[in-house]
Amino acid sequence: MSRKLFIAGNWKMNSSAASSVEVAAGMASELGAIDAVDMAICPPFVYIPGVVEAFKGSNIGVGAQNMYFEDNGAFTGEISGQMLKDIGCRYVILGHSERRHVLGETDALINTKVTKALADELEIMFCVGELLDERKADQTTAVVTRQITEGLKNISREAMSSITIAYEPVWAIGTGETATPDQAQDVHATIRGLVGQLYDAEIADAVRIQYGGSVKPSNAAELLGCPDVDGALVGGASMTVADFAGIVNSVL
Ligand code: 13P
């Protein structure tokens, strides 16, 4: 099966009211008509409405970087999946390494959020990836296996069509150090094999697996040329029109 590439930007806790709209408008005019790859941008919550407006009529979707697993109520500071749908989000990133390692999210919490996001009919970019120490200790397969097995616990085979897995080795995030295409391909193939064990060959063949970690225009084509790399989750290089367009254009 040939899987359509999915290139998404994660702006993390960056941008401003003015620049979020300006950058999104630039992306809409430069990339908005492209149909050959799927594209999305995930701004900070507060800038989502402006970006949704700027992307209206374009092929670029909008996602959030996190959500809570209740619809509403006494959860000060949290944002629900229904609220995200309400303001025009199609996607949500869950299990990002910064949520895991800086904000303390566990596999069990991430699984609860994945379950709720599916009920809310959001499409999920579900992130996994090992720390540098874990890679050095040859624990990469064990770590991503645990993260996927726990994070997708009780998720049905049908629901897998709403899930993209993002492999983001933590040592490559924001460091300028990218996994080599061989390193990425190796883990992506392992992940696809695992999905085959947890589900079946058809689901494994269909699931898209993005690579994330210092993706930029100069390395995107090589990484996305790997057989099991089906897109990218881009941090720093998704903050400007030129870099994000450079990544998208490099695979067209
Ligand atoms: P960088 O592309 O800045 O390394 O960030 C990757 C990432 O964490 C995307 O979610």
Three-state secondary structure along 172-228?
HCCCCCCCCHHHHHHHHHHHHHHHHHHCCHHHHHHCEEEEECCCCHHHHHHHHCCCC
d(CA 25, CA 55): 7
- Determine whether the shortest distance from the Cβ of 215 to ligand 1 is under 6 A: yes
Report how many helices (DSSP H) and strands (DSSP E) the chain contains, helices first: 11, 8
Does residue 10 fall inside a structural domain?
Answer: yes
Q: Which domain holds residue 143?
A: 6-240
How many CB atoms sit inside 10 A of residue 137's CB?
12
Ligand 1 midpoint to CA 74 (Å): 32
Does residue 246 fall inside a structural domain?
Answer: no
pLDDT in tens, 37-75: 999 999 999 999 999 999 999 999 999 999 999 999 999
Does residue 251 fall inside a structural domain?
Answer: no
d(CA 224, CA 208): 12
Q: Is the pLDDT of residue 1 over 90?
A: no
Does residue 228 fall inside a structural domain?
Answer: yes
Does residue 171 fall inside a structural domain?
Answer: yes
Does residue 91 fall inside a structural domain?
Answer: yes
Does residue 162 fall inside a structural domain?
Answer: yes
pLDDT in tens, 189-221: 999 999 999 999 999 999 999 999 999 999 999
Does residue 250 fall inside a structural domain?
Answer: no
Lookup: tokens for 168 = 């983001």
Q: What is the DSSP string of 95-122?
A: S-HHHHHTS---HHHHHHHHHHHHHTT-
Specify the DSSP class assigned to residue 74. Answer: S
Q: Is the pLDDT of residue 129 over 80?
A: yes
- What's the CATH number where 55 sits? 3.20.20.70
Overall average pLDDT of the 137-153 stretch? 98
Q: Is the pLDDT of residue 177 over 90?
A: no
More confident residue, 176 or 209: 209
Q: Ligand 1: which of 125, 126, 167, 168 to mutate, most ligand atoms within 8 Å of CB? A: 168
Q: Measuring CA to CA, which residue among 92, 4, 18, 44 is closest to residue 238?
A: 44
Q: Indicate the number of domains in the chain.
A: 1
Specify the DSSP class assigned to residue 47. Answer: G
- Determine whether the shortest distance from the Cβ of 235 to ligand 1 is under 6 A: yes
2 falls in which pLDDT band (50, 70, 90)? confident
Give the max Cα distance, the chain.
Answer: 48
Contacts of 100 (CB under 8 A, 6+ apart): 106, 110
- Determine whether the shortest distance from the Cβ of 8 to ligand 1 is under 6 A: no
Q: What is the pTM of this model?
A: 0.98
